[in-house]
């Protein structure tokens, strides 16, 4: 029997007009014995042209984090699946994250002081862009952020960040990504042996790395 519950949800993006977005909210079947509030993780999927919230790694991380006590929300960016609107290659997608944040923080039993973003590929880049403007986001896990989208200010906010890439990542190769990260404060970096950009076949390993980091973060007061 699964130890998590998942339900399909809809919520509006931020801004005007505000397209209605589809998502999946997952939480533990049983709340913690001490009735503690649950940390919140919002998951951002890879490139909208070829991926969705049902990407294997995105779905796996959402489920594994919920099993570890988180409330998780994965959703389709505008123009993906049943989400309304048109894709904008990152121009308006941060507004979709804003809508997801408001929706998730409105759920009962969540800890509004423990909000994190987990993004993969395009989603990692959008997570870093959005987090710079919303101090409620306390940490970001950026999996294989595309190096061609990096700008000098990306990820420069002084909150903890974990970057993960694959040993054979063709879009976020270590030899190009690591120099870009050297200038950033409060960042960790992990390379997954054998993995490529989409982490196919390495979903378990990648998810374990994310969960290990975020469980420790959630248990650390004031971070």
List strands edge to edge, sheet with 71-75: 4-12, 20-28, 71-75, 38-44, 110-120, 137-143, 161-166, 187-192
Who contacts 218 (Cβ-Cβ below 8 Å, separation ≥6)?
39, 69, 70, 114
Q: How many helices (H) and strands (E) does the chain have?
A: 5, 8
Dihedral over Cα of 105, 108, 114, 119: its sign: negative
Strand pairing category for 38-44 and 4-12: unpaired
Enter the tokens of residue 52.
Answer: 């969705």
Task: Show the CA angle centred on residue 86, arms to residues 83 and 88, nearest 5°.
Answer: 120
The domain spans of the chain are 4-218
Give 59-91 pLDDT, tens digit per residue.
999 999 999 999 999 999 999 999 999 999 999
Give the separation between CA 31 and CA 216, rounded to whole angstroms.
18
What pLDDT sits at residue 33? 59
Residues 22, 82 contacting (CB under 8 angstroms): yes
What pLDDT sits at residue 72? 98
Task: Show the CA angle centred on residue 121, arms to residues 115 and 122, nearest 5°.
Answer: 85
Dihedral over Cα of 68, 187, 223, 116: its sign: negative
What pLDDT sits at residue 1? 41
What pLDDT sits at residue 44? 99
Task: Show the CA angle centred on residue 22, arms to residues 108 and 58, nearest 5°.
Answer: 85
Residue 154 pLDDT greater than 70, yes or no: yes
Banded model confidence at residue 34, pLDDT cuts 50, 70, 90? low
What pLDDT sits at residue 223? 87
The superfamily (CATH) of domain 4-218 is Alpha/Beta hydrolase fold, catalytic domain (3.40.50.1820)
Give the separation between CA 29 and CA 82, rounded to whole angstroms.
27
């Amino acid at each position: 029997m699964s130890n998590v519950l998942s339900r399909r949800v809809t919520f509006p993006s931020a801004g005007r007009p505000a397209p209605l977005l589809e998502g999946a909210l997952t939480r533990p079947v049983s709340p913690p014995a001490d009735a503690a509030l649950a940390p919140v993780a919002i998951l951002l999927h890879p490139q909208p042209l070829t991926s969705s919230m049902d990407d294997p790694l995105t779905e796996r991380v959402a489920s594994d984090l919920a099993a570890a006590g988180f409330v998780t929300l994965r959703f389709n960016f505008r123009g993906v699946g049943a989400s309304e609107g048109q894709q904008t290659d990152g121009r308006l997608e941060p507004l979709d994250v804003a809508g997801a944040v408001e929706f998730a923080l409105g759920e009962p039993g969540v800890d509004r002081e423990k909000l994190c973003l987990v993004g993969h590929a395009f989603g990692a880049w959008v997570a870093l862009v959005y987090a710079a403007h919303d101090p409620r986001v306390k940490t970001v896990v950026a999996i294989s952020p595309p190096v061609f989208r990096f700008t000098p200010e990306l990820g420069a906010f002084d909150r903890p960040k974990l970057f993960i890439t694959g040993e054979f990542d063709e879009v976020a190769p270590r030899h190009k990504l690591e120099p870009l990260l050297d200038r950033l404060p409060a960042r960790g970096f992990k390379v997954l042996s054998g993995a490529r950009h989409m982490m196919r076949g390495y979903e378990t390993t990648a998810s374990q790395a994310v969960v290990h980091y975020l469980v420790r973060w959630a248990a650390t007061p004031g971070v």
